[in-house]
Amino acid sequence: MNKNTKALSLTAAAALTVFALAQVPGKGVLAQFGGGLPAGLEAVIKARELSPDDVEAALKTYVPPGSYDEFLLFASGGQAGNIEVLGVPSMRLIKNIAVFSKDSWQGYGIGDDDSKRLFKQGMAAGKLQEWGDVHHPALSLTNGQYDGQFLFANDKANGRIGVVDLRDFKTRQIVKNPLIATNHCGAKLTENSEYYVEGAQFGNPMPFTNYAPMDKYKELYRGSVTFWPFNRAQGKLDQTKTFTLELPPYYQDLGGMGKKVSHGWVFINTYNAEMATPGALEGKPAMEIQASQREMDYMHVIHWKKAEELLAAGKLKVNVISGMRVIPIAAAVEAGILYNIPEPKSPHGADVTPDGRFVVVSGKLDPHVTIFSFAKIQKAIADKTFDGKDEFGIPIIKFDAAVEAQVELGLGPLHTEYDDKGYAYTSMFLDSSVNKWTLDKGPRGEKPWTMVESLPVHYNTGHLTVAGGDTVKPYGKYLVTLNKWSLDRALPVGPLHPQNLQLIDISGETMKLLADAPVVGEPHYAVMAPAKLFKPWKVYPEVGLNGLTLKKSPTATEPGRERIVRNGRDVHVFMTAIRSRFVPDRIDVREGDRVHLHITNVDRAQDATHGFALSAHNINLSLDPGLTVDVDFTADRSGVFPFYCSEFCSALHMEMMGYLTVAKAKAAGAGG
């Protein structure tokens, strides 16, 4: 729809603007305009054919030059392997955090030793992976609330987790789960960041590097969920202390962490309870048909706290597989830490309410959201109100015994979050809308468990996020939808369209769409928190820090102590960078020498970043103020290779350069 068609007459729009301006807090705002609407403003409204809604949205999202946004949004970059940081309400991109994929802007994975080390930790099945599929960013929690310290990202494609330190917004750790090929569910932290919970996505033999024939899927393939303890002091997931629950080879999907009363429990959706396997050429129906046969799938209900206690007491059987402690299904069932509840088919979100009393499940193929009560689940377990067991011996809690309510919302409910008032918001994939509904109490006296509003979004929204909407205390105010298709929402830029974020104001009685923000890389989920929660460094606190350990680098170089040290075929270059020179600025080596560059940016000024680009060697570094960056390479071809600063750092930036010369091996041999 052309928005010009909804443009109002100048007078109406102008009147509305005055009204909207009058809403700006602080008295006497209109006085600045001489008590009325300046002619210039009227002209803009007319020339741009803005409607009253447009004017209001513009006023609500405008962040004047030099002012800051109120919230930070961390959106997954999907197959771009990164996390994008946007300001809310302006929806401007502020930073790209490279996690699993290379990024030459921040010199990530473009030759430096630190990211080589990180990428090596993240090898999958013995092979370097230079990209990832980031689905679910998660902020570290203290007492169930964001604490602004760490950010986690999962890589669905390779079953990996990345940890980002929010002091400098950089990736500090990548871990690979050796048991599973892919991950998806959980991807969240427990209430005090005790564990990062990582569930498998697609069933695989355990470990996935052990081949097993597909016709033995039920027997030899498994699902799982791994609990990774988080060592906050070190800022690291501790691979040596994980425990994993073996699960049936259903596809584990999203998970909700228990909160408050339900702390200690995790709820994980599954789909493909049919345990179908692909075989299109063998005449099998497509997976989408095979895996949607049953009316119900199962949600796993897991008492991880009890598992932790029993493990500590040595009272739980574990098998060690690929160095990981794996609790077999039978042992988990016997210990009373694993149950199933039937849930409407093809579920996606399992979202625990802020008070922890309910788990809301959205099944893409069911028009309802289903609300399970944690208290009823507990009672059903205590009373053994089971409907037999699944094929793997896991007790099935009776659906009716656990369900609190079902709310009919429409087509394709996917994911639910909560605001600060007591409303729930569910993204509707097929209907392309956000539907708002009441929990067990209508905040404005509405009926409980009732849909109160539906707002169209554009288009095919996957997840949504409310500021703090997955914590015990949501901030509310803004909601962002993460739309899969953008169709006509952005200027055409070729068949590959951007994805689209939409900012929605949820502070009033009704939802208001404020802005579109096309992004690159598929946003699966995002988290949003007040900007003031984060206290990132402006420069590194010390000169000569290693970017991975954040400790003084053994190769840090002070000004005046720059040098080139030859040790056989190894040439160590201790270099400084400062506006606007590299010292040394000439490196003469011979073909076959191993060159080790150790470059310290000794500039202390905020934003005085230098780059180091070396021609024909696939190397570009970002030398942030205070960092020492190491690079290692073999001078394997003779020639003359300029290096230069790739950040425009000063008026004499163009002069910030030098040469690497590589003499032919033979000629050099003569020179000794």
Distance CA 73, CA 96 (A): 11
Distance CA 276, CA 286 (A): 10
Q: Closer to ligand RUQ at the Cβ: 204 or 427? A: 427
Least separation in angstroms between residue 541's CB and ligand CUA is 21
Helix (H) or strand (E) holding 485, with range, is none
SS3 (DSSP) at 349? strand
Work out what residue 524 binds among ligand CUA, ligand RUQ, none; the CB cut-off runs from 5 to 8 Å by kind.
ligand RUQ
* Residue 163 identity: V
45 touching ligand CUA, by CB under 6 A: no
The stretch near ligand CUA (CB under 6 A) out of 91-99, 214-222, 469-477, 640-648 is 640-648
Work out what residue 610 binds among ligand CUA, ligand RUQ, none; the CB cut-off runs from 5 to 8 Å by kind.
ligand CUA
The stretch near ligand CUA (CB under 6 A) out of 279-287, 424-432, 647-655, 664-672 is 647-655
Distance CA 198, CA 230 (A): 12
Q: Closer to ligand RUQ at the Cβ: 8 or 187? A: 187
Which tokens belong to 663?
């003499």
Which of 141, 145, 184, 140 shows the shortest CA–CA distance to 161? 184
645 touching ligand CUA, by CB under 6 A: yes
184 touching ligand RUQ, by CB under 6 A: yes
Q: Are 113 and 631 in contact (CB under 8 A)?
A: yes
Which of 649, 520, 621 shows the shortest CA–CA distance to 93? 520
590 touching ligand RUQ, by CB under 6 A: no
Least separation in angstroms between residue 308's CB and ligand RUQ is 26
* Residue 236 identity: K
**Of the residues 52, 115, 124, 135, which one makes contact with ligand RUQ according to CB under 6 A:** 135
Least separation in angstroms between residue 625's CB and ligand CUA is 11
The stretch near ligand CUA (CB under 6 A) out of 110-118, 257-265, 272-280, 645-653 is 645-653
Helix (H) or strand (E) holding 105, with range, is none
Least separation in angstroms between residue 415's CB and ligand RUQ is 6
Which tokens belong to 652?
């004499």
Say how many residues touch ligand RUQ, by CB under 6 A. Answer: 7
* Residue numbers 557-586 binding ligand CUA by CB under 6 A: 580
Torsion of CA 194, 199, 205, 211, to 10 degrees: -100
Q: Closer to ligand CUA at the Cβ: 215 or 655? A: 655
- For the residues of 169-209, what is the DSSP string, one character each? TEEEEEEE-TT-S-EEEEEEE-TTSSEEEEEESS-EESSTT
3 state SS for 207-225:
CCCCCCCHHHHHHHEEEEE
- For the residues of 627-668, what is the DSSP string, one character each? EEEEEEEE--S-EEEEEE--S--STTGGG-EEEEEEE-HHHH
Distance CA 341, CA 377 (A): 9
364 touching ligand RUQ, by CB under 6 A: no
263 touching ligand RUQ, by CB under 6 A: no
Q: Closer to ligand CUA at the Cβ: 118 or 623? A: 623
* Cross-sheet strand order for the sheet of 265-271: 251-257, 265-271, 296-303, 338-344, 395-397, 386-389
Cα–Cα distances in Å, from 342 out to 394, 470, 583?
Answer: 12, 23, 67
Q: Closer to ligand RUQ at the Cβ: 263 or 524? A: 524
Distance CA 191, CA 305 (A): 12
**Of the residues 653, 659, 661, 668, which one makes contact with ligand CUA according to CB under 6 A:** 653
**Of the residues 164, 291, 529, 656, which one makes contact with ligand CUA according to CB under 6 A:** 656
524 touching ligand RUQ, by CB under 6 A: yes
Which tokens belong to 178?
């050796």
102 touching ligand RUQ, by CB under 6 A: no
Q: Closer to ligand RUQ at the Cβ: 271 or 540? A: 271
User: How many residues belong to the chain?
Assistant: 672
**Of the residues 381, 649, 660, 663, which one makes contact with ligand CUA according to CB under 6 A:** 649
16 touching ligand CUA, by CB under 6 A: no
463 touching ligand RUQ, by CB under 6 A: yes
113 phi/psi in degrees, rounded to 5: -65, -35
* Residue numbers 386-445 binding ligand RUQ by CB under 6 A: none
Say how many residues touch ligand CUA, by CB under 6 A. Answer: 8
Residue whose token pair is 């390779």: 158
Count helices and strands (H / E) in the chain: 11, 45
Q: Are 189 and 257 in contact (CB under 8 A)?
A: yes
Least separation in angstroms between residue 132's CB and ligand RUQ is 13
Q: Closer to ligand RUQ at the Cβ: 151 or 573? A: 151
Q: What per-residue string of b and e applies to 336-373 under the rule 16 or more CB within 10 Å gives b?
A: ebbbbbbbbbbbbbbbbbbbbbbbbbbbbbbbbbbbbb
Work out what residue 463 binds among ligand CUA, ligand RUQ, none; the CB cut-off runs from 5 to 8 Å by kind.
ligand RUQ
**Of the residues 120, 558, 648, 665, which one makes contact with ligand CUA according to CB under 6 A:** 648
Q: Closer to ligand RUQ at the Cβ: 357 or 463? A: 463
Distance CA 379, CA 384 (A): 8
The stretch near ligand CUA (CB under 6 A) out of 102-110, 300-308, 398-406, 641-649 is 641-649
Q: Closer to ligand RUQ at the Cβ: 184 or 590? A: 184
610 touching ligand CUA, by CB under 6 A: yes
Work out what residue 60 binds among ligand CUA, ligand RUQ, none; the CB cut-off runs from 5 to 8 Å by kind.
none
Which x/- pattern over 340-359 shows residues binding ligand RUQ (rule: CB under 6 A)?
--------x-----------
Which tokens belong to 148?
């602004």
462 touching ligand RUQ, by CB under 6 A: yes
Work out what residue 598 binds among ligand RUQ, ligand CUA, none; the CB cut-off runs from 5 to 8 Å by kind.
none
Interacting residues toward ligand RUQ by CB under 6 A: 135-136, 184, 348, 462-463, 524
Interacting residues toward ligand CUA by CB under 6 A: 580, 610, 645, 647-649, 653, 656
